[in-house]
Amino acid sequence: MDRVPPRVLSAAVGIAVLALWELLARTVYAGSYRLSPPTLVVVDFFEYRDLYLRNLWHSTKTAAWGFLWGNLAAIALAGVASILPVLRRSIGAIALTVFCLPFIAVAPILRLITGPGNGTPITLSALAVFFTTYVAALLGFDTAPGSALDVVRSFGRGRLAAFRRVRLRASVPAMIAGLQIAAPAAFLGAVVGEFTGARSGLGILTVRALGALHTERIWVIALLSTIVATGGYMVIGALGRWLCPWAPALDVGAVPAARQEPGLLNRMAALLAPIIVVFVFWYAFLWVFQIKPFFAKTPFDVWAELFTNADAAETRSSVFGALGTTLWTTSLGYVAGLIGAVVTAVVFVLIPWLERALMPIAVALRSIPIIVTTPVIILFVGRGLLTTTAIVAVMSFFPTLVNCYAAMNRTPVGILDVLKSYDAGSAAHVRNAYLPTAVPALLASARIAVPTSLLGATVAEWLATGDGIGAVMVIAFTRNDYNVLWVSVAVLTLVAVIGYWLVAAFELRTLERVAPGASR
Amino acid sequence: MARRGAPVDVVGVGRTFALGGGEVEALRGFEMHVPAGGFSALIGPSGCGKSTALRLVAGLDAPDEGTIDMDGASPDQMRRGQRIGVAFQDPSLLPWRTVSTNIRLALELVGRRHDTGSVDDLIELVGLQGFEKARPAQLSGGMRQRVAIARSLVTEPDLLLLDEPFGALDALTRQQLNDELQRIWTARGTTTILVTHSIPEAVYVADEVLVMSPRPGRVVAHHAIDFERPRTRELLLADEFHAKVEAVSASLHRSEGQVVQLEADDS
Ligand SMILES: Nc1ncnc2c1ncn2[C@@H]1O[C@H](COP(=O)(O)OP(=O)(O)OP(=O)(O)O)[C@@H](O)[C@H]1O
Ligand SMILES: [Mg+2]
C-alpha cells in the first residue's frame, strides 16, 4: 500500500466511490428521487447542455463580479485598518457582522435596493468573500518584518510609506491564501442570492428543480458548482505557488483570533465600539438607499417589534421558538462535524496510506461551497430536522479536518523523536503530540464554523425543512412581513456574532495555556 | 562503581540522505566503541554527521550499511526496551506541559508515572526549583535545555545520548552542568555519548574524545582522557588539561584541513 503513488490511490478511491454510488442508486435507491446514478447525471447534462452552460456562465459571471468588488473592498479596508490602527476594531466589527449575516434572508432586503436583476447575487457574493479576505489581508500586512519597518522609519518616513513599501509587498502570500478561499465563497454568495429569486443562474435553476423533484438536474448543478468553485480555488492556489514559491501554505481558516487588550476600559470599548459602528452602518444603509418605511426597519423598529408593540409577545414566541429549534439542530451538527473531523484527522495521521488515499478528496471537498450542494443533501436525507444537522455537520467537517490534519502533520520532529525514543505507542502519540498540536487549528476552525454553520442551517431551513428560523423567514418573505424578516436577520446575526465571540474568548484562553505566543 | 550501562559497538556505518534531487552522504565508514559505562565525547565540524550518528545509535534512524551492536541488542531493540535517554540540540519540550510534567512525560511513556520523587530530585539537580509549574515558553533557552536533560535522565537509562545539550547555556551554567553530568554519570554508570562543539567541555567530562572528519563523517582521531575522577574545576587550570585540549584541537584542525586538501585535489 505504501508504494502506490497518491494520485493512483486517490483515483482508485474516486472510481470506487463512483461505482458504489451507481450501484446504490440502481439498487437500494432505485425508483426513489434520493440518489441519481452518475451515468444518468452525465446523460442529463448532455441532454440539457445549453441550459446548464448558460446558467453556469451566468452564475460564474455574477460570482466573478462579487469576487472583484468584495475583495477590493476588503483589501482597501484592511489597508485602512493597518495604516490607522484606531479604526481597526470598528472595521473588524463590520467585517465580522457581514460574515455573520444570514445571507439567505438578506437577499430579499437587498433586492429592495438592487431591483430584481443581478445586483442582489453580486452583492451577496461580495459580502461572502469580504470577511476572509479582510482577515487574510490584515494578517499579511501585520506579518511585514519589523526590521524592514524600522528601516523605513529610520529614514523619517511615516506609516503610509511603510505600508506602501513594506506591508503591501509582505502581504502577498497571505492575500493569495485569502483570495483562494474567496473563490468558492464568491460562488456560494452568488448561488444563495439566486436561491431567493433571479432571472437565471444555477441558484434559481436549483430551486425550480427542487420543486419538481428533478433529481438528476440537482446533481448536475451540484457537480458543476463544485467543479467551478474548486477550479477557482486551485487556479488561485497555483498562482500563489508561482508568484511566491517561498511562502508556506496558509489557511485563513486556521488563523488564530486576535488578542484583546487588557483593562476594563478597553474591554468595554471592545464591546461598545462594534455595536455603535454597526448601528451607524445600519442607519447609513437605510438613509443612503432611501428605502421606503414599509420595508426599512431601524434598530428601534426591531426593538419595538420584539418588546413593545402590541403583538410583541407573539413575535417573540415565534422567532425565539424557531431560533431554539435552529440552534439545537445546528449545534448538534456543529459538534458532530468538529468531533468527526478531529477523529478523522487522528486516523489519517496514524494510517498514512489512508490519508494519501482520502486526503486529496477531503481537500477538494473543503474547497467546495457545501451550501451549494445543500439541495443534494436535502434530496438524500429528506426534509426533516436531520437535514439541517447533516448539512451543518458536513460544512464544519471538511475545513476542520484539513486544518487539524495540517497542524498534526506539523508536529515538531523533535517531539516525535522523543516519543519514539521511548517507543511510545499510537495512543501516547495522539495524547502527547497530535491532539495538543491540533488544538489551535481546531479552535480557529470552530470559531469560523459558527457563522458558516448558522448560514448553512438557515439555507437548509429556507429551502427545505420548514422548521426553525429559516422557515419563519421564508414565510415572512412570502407574506411581505418585513418586520419579522428584519427581526430574524438582526437576531440571527447577533447570535452568530456572540457565538463567534464566545469561541474566540475560549480560544484565546486555551491558547495561552496550550500554545503560548500563538495568538496574534 | 556500579557499571550498569550497555557497551556500544558501531562498525562501518554509512548513511546517505536523499535531498531534493541529489544525495547527501552524512556518514561513511563511521566506527566507535564505547565500553559499558564509558563516557565518550564526539566532536567535529558543523554538518559532519554527529547528530545523524547519535540518531542511529538511538534507533531513531537506520544505517544504510554497517552494524550497531549493544551487548547483543540492536539500537531498535534498546529503544523498544525503553533503555535509552536522549536530549537533542533542540530541547523539544511539549509547550503545553509544565517543567515537571515535561520531565514526567518520560516516566509516563515507560509506564512509571508514579515515580514522582525522582522528578523533584532532577529538578533540583538541574537547578530549576521554583519553576516546576512554568511552561517552556516562560523559560530561557538554557532552562529549556536543562529540562530536556532532566527528562533524558529521569528514567535512569542504560544509554544516555546527549546532542549538544548545553549549546544555549552561558559558560558558568555550562560548567555547573558539566559537573552535575559527571556526578550523575559517576553515580549511575550509564554509558554516555555526548556531542559537543566545545573541546574543553569534551576533555573535562569524557573518558575518550572522538574527533570526526567533515562530511561524510567518520572518526579520524581518538584521544583517551585519563584524568582522575572526580574531576574538579582546578583541572581546568592544569597544564596537562591544556595540553589535551591543544592536542584535540590540533587533530580537529587537521581533520578539517584534510578535506579542504581533498577538495582542492578534486578540482
Ligand atoms: N533527514 C535528513 N535529510 C536530509 N539530509 C539530512 C538529514 N539529516 C541530516 N542530513 C544531512 O546530513 C549532514 C549531517 O547532518 P547532522 O545534523 O548529522 O550534522 P551535525 O554534525 O550534527 O551538525 P551540527 O554540528 O551543525 O549540528 C548534513 O549535511 C545534513 O544536511
Ligand atoms: Mg547536530
pLDDT digits (tens, 9 = 90+) for B52-94: 999 999 999 999 999 999 988 999 999 998 889 999 888 889 9
B95 inside 8 A of chain A by CB = yes
**Average confidence (pLDDT) per 10 residues, chain A, 520 residues:** 70 86 83 80 90 93 95 94 84 88 87 81 92 90 75 71 77 88 90 84 86 84 88 88 75 70 67 77 81 81 86 88 93 96 96 85 75 78 82 91 92 92 93 93 93 91 84 88 88 91 90 67
Q: Identify the closest residue of chain B to A517 by CA–CA distance.
A: B137
Beta carbon of B83 within 6 Å of any ligand 1 atom: no
Q: Which amino acid is at A199?
A: R
CB contact under 8 A, A423 and B137: no
Beta carbon of B52 within 6 Å of any ligand 1 atom: yes
Lowest mean pLDDT among A138-147, A500-509, B132-141, B258-267: B258-267
Residue B107's pLDDT is what? 92
Residue A516's pLDDT is what? 66
How remote is the CA of residue B247 from the centroid of ligand 1, in Å? 26
How remote is the CA of residue B86 from the centroid of ligand 2, in Å? 13
Residue A75's pLDDT is what? 94
pLDDT reading at B12 higher than 60: yes
Query: What DSSP string runs through B67-117?
Result: EEEBTTB-HHHHHHTT-EEEE-SS----TTS-HHHHHHHHHHHTT-TT-HH
Query: What angle in degrees, to the nearest 10, is found between the helix axes of A435-460 and A88-100?
Result: 60
Beta carbon of B27 within 6 Å of any ligand 1 atom: no
Dist. CA B28–CA A135, nearest whole Å: 51
Residue having the nearest C-alpha atom to atom 22 of ligand 1? B51
Dist. CA A94–CA B95, nearest whole Å: 35
Task: Kindly report the number of other CB atoms within 10 A of residue A232's CB atom.
Answer: 23
Q: Which amino acid is at B114?
A: H
Q: What is the distance, to the nearest Å, from the Cα of residue B227 to the centroid of all Cα atoms in its chain?
A: 20
Would you identify the CATH topology of the domain A53-286? MetI-like fold (1.10.3720)
CATH architecture of the domain covering A301-520:
Orthogonal Bundle (1.10)
Residues 54-73 of B with CB under 8 A from A: 55, 58-60
Look over chain B and give the mean of its residue pLDDT values, rounded to a whole number. 88
Nearest to A104 by CA among A19, A30, A31, A189: A189
**Banded pLDDT at B266 (limits 50, 70, 90):** very low
The neighbouring-strand residues paired with B87 are B162
Residue A326's pLDDT is what? 93
Residue having the nearest C-alpha atom to atom 14 of ligand 1? B49
How remote is the CA of residue A437 from the centroid of ligand 1, in Å? 26
Beta carbon of B19 within 6 Å of any ligand 1 atom: yes
Q: Tell me where in chain A the CATH 1.10.3720.10 domain(s) lie.
A: 53-286, 301-520
CB contact under 8 A, B94 and A516: no
Rounded to an integer, the average pLDDT of B129-147 is: 89
Q: What is the distance, to the nearest Å, from the Cα of residue B66 to the centroid of all Cα atoms in its chain?
A: 21
Residue A2's pLDDT is what? 58
B88 inside 8 A of chain A by CB = yes
CB contact under 8 A, A417 and B55: yes
Judge whether A387 and A465 are in contact, CB under 8 Å.
yes
Three-state secondary structure call for residue B163: strand
Say if pTM beats, i.e. exceeds, 0.90: no
Q: For a pocket test of ligand 1, which of B15, B50, B56 has the largest count of ligand atoms closer than 8 A to its C-beta?
A: B50
Picking from A418, A509, A519 by the largest number of B CB atoms within 10 A of its own CB, the best residue to mutate is A418
Nearest to A187 by CA among A65, A50, A48, A75: A65
Three-state secondary structure call for residue B23: strand
Which ligand has its closest atom nearest to the C-alpha of B216?
1
Residue B193's pLDDT is what? 95
Phi-psi region of A156 (alpha: psi -120 to 50; beta: other; left: phi over 0): left
Residue whose C-alpha cell is 581518538: B222
Helix ranges (DSSP H) in A155-307: 159-162, 168-170, 172-195, 202-211, 215-243, 264-288, 299-307
The three grid cell numbers given for residue A304, joined into one nine-digit string: 419595538
CB contact under 8 A, A418 and B86: yes
The arrangement of strands across the sheet holding B219-224 comes to B84-87, B159-163, B191-195, B39-43, B208-212, B219-224
How remote is the CA of residue A424 from the centroid of ligand 2, in Å? 24
Stated as kind and residue range, the H or E segment containing A262 is none
Residue B261's pLDDT is what? 46
Pairing of strands B22-34, B8-19: antiparallel
Q: What is the distance, to the nearest Å, from the Cα of residue A424 to the centroid of all Cα atoms in its chain?
A: 38
